[in-house]
Amino acid sequence: MFEHWFTGSIKKLDLNMTKVISFISRKGGSGKTTNAINLATSLNKIGYSVLLVETDTNYTLISSRKLELFKRKEKEDIYFPIMASEDHRIGEEINQLKEQNKFDVIIVDSAGKTTDKGIRELCLESNMVIITTSLTQNDLLVTYQTVKDLLPAKELNKDLKLCILPNRIHSHTRMKTVKEVLKNLEADVIDTYVPQRKVYTSPSTIKAEKRYLPVANQIVKKLK
């Protein structure tokens, strides 16, 4: 019934060079941060070398990682790194990291109040931008505007892929229904969705949630 949620066997793909996946939205609370960390832990679990970057100066992910390490009594260097950045310097830093080609995937959790300049520079350095959205009218309006704001970046960055990740969707919803609701957005829709469950909204910065692995797999397929 819900085959797209079964983990099954997920293989690591050869990405050849560092790929940048950025989560961007004009609205706070859309699921950027929770999906960024779920994606990071999942890709790390599959075997990718991952760097997670957050630009929100509250640095929630870095604080969460420190708390988890304290509870586990472990050192940070045994896990994938989480890096702090800021809106005004993220573009330059990502460019430098890509040149080093040290990581398979760099995941950017952008701040909820990212400036137009910050969004533009981040888009120019990204291979994929993911906009998370539920199917509520308010979220859809914000998502529509976010996509419109990002479309000019595709003219400058021909390799940029704009993707919608349906988030906080009722678990009985069919994917056909989700795609029908999102069909007017000028962006690709990831071929699965994240159900409205607590397990996806309180993720670990260390341990991958196995039920998220199919989502990560679909995202990587779009990245290729």
Within a domain: 131: yes
What string of DSSP letters covers 39-84? HHHHHHHHT--EEEEE--TT-HHHHHHHHHHHHHT--GGGS--EEE
What's the half-sphere exposure (Cβ side, CA atoms, 13 Å) at 125?
A: 24
- Give the model's pLDDT for residue 11: 65
pTM: 0.92
Within a domain: 5: no
Residue ranges making up the domain that contains 107: 17-223
What are residue 100's phi and psi, to 5 degrees? -70, -25
Within a domain: 12: no
Q: Where are the alpha helices (DSSP H) in the chain?
A: 32-46, 60-72, 90-100, 116-125, 137-156, 175-182, 198-201, 213-223
- Give the model's pLDDT for residue 4: 42
Within a domain: 8: no
- Give the model's pLDDT for residue 7: 42
The span from the CA of 201 to the CA of 211, in Å, is 13
What are residue 18's phi and psi, to 5 degrees? -60, 130
CATH of residue 157: 3.40.50.300
Within a domain: 11: no
CB 123 within 8 A of CB 21: no
Q: Which residues of 53-77 are buried (b: 16+ CB within 10 A; e: fewer)?
A: bbbbeebebbebbeebbeeeeeeee
Within a domain: 4: no
Q: How many domains does the chain have?
A: 1
pLDDT in tens, the chain (224 residues): 233 433 445 667 677 789 999 999 877 788 999 999 999 999 999 999 999 999 988 899 999 999 999 999 998 888 999 999 998 899 999 999 999 999 999 999 998 777 788 889 999 999 999 999 999 999 999 999 999 999 999 999 999 999 999 999 998 999 999 999 999 999 999 999 999 998 898 999 999 999 999 999 999 989 87
The span from the CA of 110 to the CA of 150, in Å, is 14
Within a domain: 9: no
Sign of the alpha-carbon dihedral angle for 127, 97, 194, 110: negative
- Give the model's pLDDT for residue 6: 38
Within a domain: 10: no
- Regarding beta strands 19-23 and 105-109, do their DSSP bridges make them parallel or antiparallel, or are they unpaired? parallel
- Give the model's pLDDT for residue 61: 94
